[in-house]
């Protein structure tokens, strides 16, 4: 975590008290802009309407956190309260003004949403990817910085390899993250959208989808190779390796020799696998 950031974060989240040395100001709503690093794209309209009604009746009980940006302000924490306040017709909103760098803004925006579990798996994946690119971090460094496991980071980022239509289905909560991971195991990538539709139409759970993907991949293997069916031992080892690496793994054995093929989907995914091999 950035030097000096931890102390600031502790006071940022809703429910935490504002430092007694800080003053709460009334800031015109029209002078406030949303956080450009906000990872959350989807806001629950029902929850937002309920908050709007609460603000109409009781006002804004917890000040939002802003940083000064030229003649205006950017939201650090409290975008839901800001949106609800605008919807409630408020002209001003209570706020505390603090100084933050762009790097701190990015980290805080993600940490706040992760604490509140407000992000969809795709929003979380995008947030991790943006942090890695903008702060030049590896997956392991990012995991340490955010207090997450490396597999957690890696499994989310892999979702970004899915076709856009499937990512949208996950964001809309029509498919789960588990469904997305299973779909990534398909050897024929062009079939992913159609299989995703099948999952929704037939209401397949993740285990059922994994079985379907395995059968389809075995069909591909039979079509592209005359090698006899793999024995149970090889299949079990493939399954163990798939679970460990989080991707398709194929063991090809011939007499006393063979090879192991590990599939990756991007440079970051390759880096993730290489790090696992080094462990």
CA distances from 140 to 64, 79, 103 (A): 32, 30, 18
For residue 245, tell me if it sits in a domain.
no
For residue 201, tell me if it sits in a domain.
no
How many CA atoms does the CB half-sphere of 75 hold within 13 Å? Answer: 25
The phi, psi pair for 221, rounded to 5°, reads -60, -40
Q: What is the DSSP letter of 88?
A: T
In three-state secondary structure terms, 258 is strand
**Tally of domains within the chain:** 1
For residue 34, tell me if it sits in a domain.
yes
Quote the tokens at residue 168: 């949208």
For residue 139, tell me if it sits in a domain.
no
For residue 50, tell me if it sits in a domain.
yes
Whole-number pLDDT of residue 159: 94
For residue 217, tell me if it sits in a domain.
no
Rounded Cα distance between 261 and 244, Å, is 14
Predicted model pTM: 0.58
Per-residue pLDDT of the chain (279 residues; tens, 9 = 90+): 343 333 334 433 433 445 556 788 899 999 999 887 777 777 778 878 888 999 998 888 889 889 998 889 998 888 889 999 999 999 999 998 988 888 888 778 777 777 666 788 998 898 888 888 878 888 888 888 888 888 999 999 999 999 999 999 999 989 999 999 999 999 888 899 999 999 999 999 999 999 999 888 877 666 555 555 667 778 788 888 887 877 778 888 777 788 888 887 677 778 778 888 876
CA distances from 63 to 13, 25, 28 (A): 10, 9, 13
Q: What is the DSSP letter of 14?
A: T
The CATH number for 97's domain is 3.90.1530.30
13 lies in which domain range?
5-118
For residue 44, tell me if it sits in a domain.
yes
Q: What is the DSSP letter of 266?
A: S
- Structural contact between residues 82 and 75, judged by C-beta atoms closer than 8 angstroms: yes
For residue 41, tell me if it sits in a domain.
yes
Any idea which residues carry the catalytic annotation? Answer: 79
Whole-number pLDDT of residue 223: 58
- Structural contact between residues 159 and 122, judged by C-beta atoms closer than 8 angstroms: yes
Exposure b/e, 225-242, CB count within 10 A at least 16 = b: eeeeebeeeeeeebeebb
């Amino acid at each position: 975590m950035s030097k000096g950031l931890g102390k600031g974060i502790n006071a940022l989240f809703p429910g935490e008290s504002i430092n007694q040395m800080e003053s709460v100001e009334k800031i015109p709503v029209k002078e406030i802009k949303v956080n450009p690093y906000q990872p959350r794209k989807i806001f629950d309209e029902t929850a937002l309407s309920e908050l709007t009604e609460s603000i109409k009746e009781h006002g804004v009980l917890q000040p939002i956190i802003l940083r000064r940006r030229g003649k205006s302000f950017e939201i650090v924490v409290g975008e839901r309260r800001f949106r609800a306040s605008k919807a409630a017709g408020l002209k001003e909103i209570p706020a505390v003004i603090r100084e933050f760098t762009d790097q701190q803004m990015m980290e805080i925006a993600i940490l706040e949403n992760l604490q509140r579990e407000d992000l969809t798996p795709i929003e979380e994946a995008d947030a991790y990817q943006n942090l890695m690119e903008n702060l030049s971090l590896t997956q392991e460094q990012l995991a340490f910085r955010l207090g997450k496991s490396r597999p957690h980071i890696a499994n989310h980022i892999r979702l970004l390899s899915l076709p856009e239509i499937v990512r949208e289905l996950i964001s809309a909560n029509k498919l789960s993250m588990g469904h997305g991971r299973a779909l990534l195991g398909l050897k024929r990538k062009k079939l992913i959208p159609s299989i995703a539709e099948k999952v929704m139409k037939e209401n397949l759970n993740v285990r059922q989808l994994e079985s379907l993907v395995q059968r389809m991949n075995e069909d591909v293997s039979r079509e592209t190779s005359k090698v006899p069916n793999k024995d149970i031992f090889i299949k079990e080892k493939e399954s163990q390796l798939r679970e460990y690496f989080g991707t398709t793994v194929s063991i090809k054995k011939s007499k006393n020799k063979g090879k192991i093929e590990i599939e990756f989907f991007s440079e970051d995914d390759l880096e993730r696998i290489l790090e696992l091999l080094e462990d």
